[in-house]
Structure 1
C-alpha cells in the first residue's frame, strides 16, 4: 500500500541545487581574524553554552551545546571567545552570500541562517551541457559567462567531482565510465546535469576558501531537502552528490533517494520538528518514545527511521494528516510530511487549490510581509555607516529611523502559475509556464513610520490586486499552484561607497556641523564693540615694551591717515588674556605705533618716508 502511494507522487528533478554549509562558522569567523586559532582547540560561547567549536576542539572531546564548565574540565587548554554579539557573524554571512551570488546567473541564491546557502545553478548547468564535446569529456571547459567564452575553468566531465551516494565507481550505480550515451535519455541527462553541478560546486567551494578563507561542506541534488542531507555525509571540507536513479525501480522497489533517506531518523529530516517527530514515533512504536531531558528538547532515546515510517502498514498522507492535526496546524501538513519522507521537496510555496479572491488576498499579504522583511534585511544599512548590514526588523515594530535604504527596487512583479486541466484518464500534465505582470514599486513600501503588516495591506490593495486582476480577470476558479512576488531593477542610493550612485547630499548636510565643528567660530566668542571703543582697545592690546609715539593722533592706527578695521582690534578686553596671543598681533610701527604683520613693516615704513 505504501509503495503504491509512493508511485503516485510526482517528482520534479528539473533543477540542480547546491547546498553550502560553512564548517564551524562562528569559530571560523574568529579564526579568519586570528589564523593561529585554527591549530588550537577553540570554542565560541553564548551565555553558559558552547555554541560551536573547531574540529581541533572536537577531536579533544568538546561538542556543540556543551556547558562551558564541562568544556573547560574536559579540555583545560581550550580557548573560548564570547560570541553573544552577532554583528561580526551577520556581516561575514552576508559577505559570503554576496560573494557566492555574484557567480549565479539567475541570482537564485538563498541564505538559511548565518552558515548555510542554497544556490540554484540549473541555467548554468544546462548552458554548459549543450556545449559539451562528448568525444573529449576529460578536457571540458565550464563557462561562467554567457558573453565571454574565456571566463570559466577546465574540468573532467567523465566523472563526478567529490564523493557520491551510493559510493563506488560509475558502474556501481549503473552508469557508463566515459559517456552517458548508453543510458536512457532521462537518466543520462539527469546524471550529466548532476555531474556538471558537482564541478561548479567544487569550483565555488575552492573560490570561497581562497578568497574568503572559509571552508564549507557541499551537497548536490535536485531539491533543497536532498542536497542539504547528502552534504552531511562528508564533513568537513567535502562534497557529496546524490546520483540517479531518483525514480522508483520496479525491479528493486526503491530509488537512490529512498535508499538514502530510509536510513535517517525521522527527526533528522528538515521540515519535521521535534513534536511532529515524536507523534510519528509514537504511532510507529505504539507508545510514546523516550527522549533525553535537555535545555529545550533533548535527543530521542528511541530512533524511528524514515524507512520504518514509510513502510509502516497503512501509512499514507491521509494517515499523517489525521495523526498530526491540531489547532493551528496547516490542513495539508500530512501531505507535506509524506512528500518529505519520500524525498520530494518543492522550494516554492505551492498551493493545493487557490481559486477564490479571499484566499488570494490572504496569500498576497503574507508574501508581501515576507518581501518587506527581506528587503529591510538586505537593502538597509546604518545611517552613519555605508558598509553596515541591516538587521531583521520584527513585523510588529516600526522601522528604526537610524537605518536608511542603500538601494531602492523600482519594479514590483507578480507571478502566478495556474494548473493545467486534467487529461481524460484523470492524470494531469506537467506544466511550468508562468505569467507575470509588473508595476512601479509603491513608495509606501520604503516607509519608516508604519509597521510591516500595515504597509503590506496597502501594497496589496493598491498594486497587487490590480495586477492580479489583469492576469486573471475571472472572478474565481483559477486553480493556482504558484504565486510569487519579486522586487527588481535596483537603483542604488547616494552613498560614499563605490556601489553608490553619487554622494548622499542629505547626509552631507546633516553631518556638516560635526565635520566643520573644529573650524567653526561660535557667536559667543565674539563681543560687539562700539566705534568709540576702538581707540581704547587698540591702546590696551599694544605691547608695553614697544614705545608709542605720542605725537601721532590716536586715530591713526593704519598705514594711512584713516582708521582701517583690518588693523584695529575688534575684540573685547576679556578675550585676549594670554601673552602668546598678544604677541601674535605682530610688530608695532615706531613712528605711529600701529600693529601689523612682520611682512608689512617694510612697506609701512616706505609710506612714512614719502614726502608730505
Structure 2
C-alpha cells in the first residue's frame, strides 16, 4: 500500500503562495552585543545576561564554552568560572537599541511592511522592491545588475551579480541558471538575497550590529530558514516550493524540525502533537527551567500519522479555549503554509507587557508589593514608548503672566492610548501526596478598562502606580483568585493592550482639533480682508435700494444691469450676488429656505423702496428706514 492510500489527506497537496518575498532579520546575540557595544573589551570574553537566577542569553564565546539560554546561573559559573555576568533586569538600553535598529531597517522599506518581533527580530516584506527591480534586469548581462533603492532617484542603490544568489542556500546545491525550472520565483529570491546582504552590511558598518537573515515567501519559512547558518550569515530557501509527490524543498526542509520549534505551534499544541505520535505524553527534561522534552517529535513524524488532516487535528487540538479552525491552521503550518501578512510599521507597540516569575508567591501582601513594582515598570514603559515631544507645548513651555509666577507646562503628548489593562497569573499546582509538584504552564487572565488617571502627566509614576494597584489591579486579582488561601503563583504579568492611536494632524482616531485652532490664523492669513484706500467702505442707501429693486422685486428673475455696474464699482461685496448666485436667481422663482411652502399672498412690498419680503420682516425693515 502506497502513501497515498495510507494517507488520504495527501491526495490533494496544499499549494503554497509564491507571490511574496519576505526577509527575516535576527540580530546576533542582541542583548550581549548591546553590552559589548558599551564595553568593547567584553567581546572576546564569555558574557551572560542574568535575570533572576537564570541566564536569559549569552554571547557566542560563552556558548562556545557550553553556556546556553535558560541555564541556571550557578550551573553557568560552575561550567565557565570566568564568565562575566551582567544584570539584565533593566531593559531600557536594550529597548532603545532595538528601536534604533528597527528604524534603520524601516527606512529602506517602500510599503512600510516592517514588523518587529521582540527586541531582536524584524520581518520585511520586500515584494514591491523585488518586483520593481526584476523589471530593470538586463537578461543578457545579469552579472552587472543594479538594485534601485529609490523610485524617485534611480542613482540610489547598489551593484550586484544577479546570476548567483547572495549567501547560503537550502538545499546546498541549487540550480541558479536563469533558464532553469521555477525561473521567475528563483530570480525574485535571488534579488531578495542580495537586498538582505546589502542591509546586513549596512547594519554592521553603520550600527555595529551583525545579524542573520532568512529569505523565503512567507514569515514562517523565512524565520526557520534563517536559523540554518548562524551567526552573521543568511540562507535562501530555493524552489521547487510545490510538487505533487511531496518531494519539494519546503517539505524536506520543514519535516526535519521539531514540532515545538515551529512558529505558531504553541507549547500546549506541541505537547498534544507529541502525544499523538508517541501515543503517550512526552517525558519532560527536569533539568530545564521552563520545561522541555527528552523525546523529540519531528514535523515529518506528525505528517506520517495515519489519516492525519485538518479535521482530525481539529478534533485533537480543539475544545474549550482553543481558537476556531486550529486544525486547519496547524495542518497548514506542518506544510510550511503561513498566510499571515507582515504587519505595517508602527511608531508605537501594539501592547506593553511586563512580567516576573517567582519561586513562591502566596500572600496578598507580597502580591501587592509585586504588583506595585510591575505597575511602576509598566508606567515607565508607557512613558518611554507612547509619549512624544509636543512642539506647541515646547514653544510655550514656560508661560509668564502678570499675576502669577512662571508655570511649568507639560511638553509631551500621548501618541496612543491603551484601552485595556490585563492581569495574568500562573498558579502553581498543589503538591502531590508524595510531595512533588506537577509541572504547569497554564496562565489565567482578567482584563478591565484602563483607568484614565494613568494618562496624567502632572503626577509622578509612584503616585499613579499606587492608585493603579489599589483601584484596578487588586480588583482584577481578586476576580482571578477569589479564595483567601491556598493559592501559590509562579508568574505575574501586567499588560497595557488594545492600543488606539491618539488624534493627530496626520492620522489617528481623529484630527487634533486643538492644533487645528492654534494654526487657523496662519492657515487663513491669505484669506483675510485688509483695509485699503481702493475699497469703498459702506454701500449707500440709494445703492441698496437699487439692488433690492433689481434683484428682489422682479419675480421673473431678471437682474438689472445696474447691479453689475454697482458690483464692479465696489470691487465685490457679500451684499451683492456672485455670478454663481445670479445663475441660481435666474433659474429659480425664489430663494431656497426652510419655509418652502410660503404662499405668494404672504409676501409684502415696502411702500418706500418696493422691496418684497415676508410679513414678519416688515417691522425690522421699517425701523431700518426710520434709522436711515
Change (3 A) 1:254 1:380: farther
Cα contact 2:314–2:325 (8 A) shared by 1: yes
* TM-score relative to the length of structure 1: 0.59
2:14 is aligned to: 9
Which residue does the alignment assign to 1:219?
214
Rounded Cα–Cα distance in structure 2 between residues aligned with 1:53 and 1:148: 42
1:86 and 2:140 correspond: no
Match of residue 398, structure 1, among 429, 451, 470: 451
1:282 aligns with 2:279: no
Shift in alpha-carbon separation, 1:370–1:62, aligned structure 2, 3 A: closer
115, 120, 131: which one aligns with 1:126: 131
Aligned residue among 114, 119, 141 for 2:119: 114
- Asked whether 1:235 is paired with 2:225, we answer no
User: What is the CA–CA distance in structure 2 between the aligned matches of 1:31 and 1:454, rounded to whole Å?
Assistant: 34
**Alpha-carbon distance in structure 1 between the residues aligned to 2:314 and 2:342:** 19
Shift of 1:288: 1.6
Give the distance between the partners of 1:349 and 1:97, measured in 2 at CA: 14
Report deviation, 1:295: 6.0
Q: Secondary structure at the match of 1:125?
A: helix
Q: Structure 2 regions of 5+ residues with no counterpart?
A: 354-380, 391-409, 423-447, 459-495, 520-628
Q: Secondary structure of the residue that 1:98 maps to in structure 2?
A: helix
The 1:40–1:9 alpha-carbon spacing in structure 2 relative to 1, beyond 3 Å, is: same
Cα offsets for 1:117-149 (capped at 9, x unmatched): 000000000000000011111111000000101
Q: Please list, as runs of the form range in 1=range in 2, the aligned pairs for 1:505-520 lying within 5 A after superposition.
A: none
Aligned to 1:21: 26
Query: Quick one: distance in 2 between partners of 1:296 and 1:3?
Result: 41
Structure 1, unaligned runs of 5 or more: 351-368, 405-450, 460-485, 495-500, 503-612
- 1:61 paired residue number: 66
Contact 1:91 1:389 in 2 (8 A): no
Deviation at 1:277, TM superposition (A): 1.1
| 1:192-222 Cα distance to aligned partner (Å, 9 max, x none) | 0000000000011111111111111100000
Give the whole-Å Cα distance in 1 for the aligned partners of 2:104 and 2:190. 23
The reply to whether residue 269 of structure 1 matches residue 323 of structure 2 is no
CA distance in 2, matches of 1:27, 1:160: 31
SS in structure 1 of the partner of residue 205 of structure 2: helix
Q: 1:380 is matched with which residue?
A: 387
Q: Does 1:183 align with 2:180?
A: yes
Measure, in 1, the Cα distance between the counterparts of 2:107 and 2:457.
25
1:206 aligns with 2:205: no
Query: What SS does the aligned partner of 2:81 have?
Result: coil
Equivalent residues in 2 for 1:33-432 (5 A)? 33-168=38-173, 170-171=174-175, 175-176=176-177, 180=178, 182-184=179-181, 187-250=182-245, 253-293=246-286, 297-348=290-341, 379-381=386-388, 394=421, 396=448, 397-398=450-451, 400-401=454-455
Q: Residues 509-554 of structure 1, C-alpha deviation per residue, up to 9 Å, x if partnerless?
A: xxxxxxxxxxxxxxxxxxxxxxxxxxxxxxxxxxxxxxxxxxxxxx
Do the aligned partners of 1:124 and 1:144 also contact (CA within 8 Å) in 2? yes
Q: What is the distance in 2 between the residues matched to 1:219 and 1:388?
A: 36
Contact 1:225 1:345 in 2 (8 A): yes
| 2:500–2:509 contact (8 Å) kept in structure 1 | no
Cα offset, 1:454, TM superposition: 11
SS in 2 for 1:199: helix
Query: What do the CA deviations read for 1:171-199 (whole angstroms, capped 9, x no partner)?
Result: 4xxx42xxx2x335xx1110100000000
Mapped partners of 1:26, 1:337: distance in 2: 32
1:235 Cα offset (Å): 0.5
Counting matched residue pairs gives 392
Aligned counterparts of 2:57 and 2:417: Cα–Cα separation in 1: 22
Question: Which residue pairs with 2:490 in the alignment?
Answer: none
Distance 2:280 2:74 in 1: 36
**Measured at CA, do residues 210 and 370 of structure 1 come closer, stay the same or move farther in structure 2, by a change above 3 Å?**
closer
- The 2-side partners of 1:36 and 1:389 are apart by 39
SS in 2 for 1:277: helix
Report the Cα distance in structure 1 between the residues aligned to 2:172 and 2:44, rounded to whole angstroms: 31
Task: Name the TM-score, length of structure 2 as normaliser.
Answer: 0.57
Deviations 1:273-294 (A, max 9, x none): 2221111111112122112125
2:36 aligned residue: 31
Q: Is the 8 A contact 1:380 1:403 kept in 2?
A: no
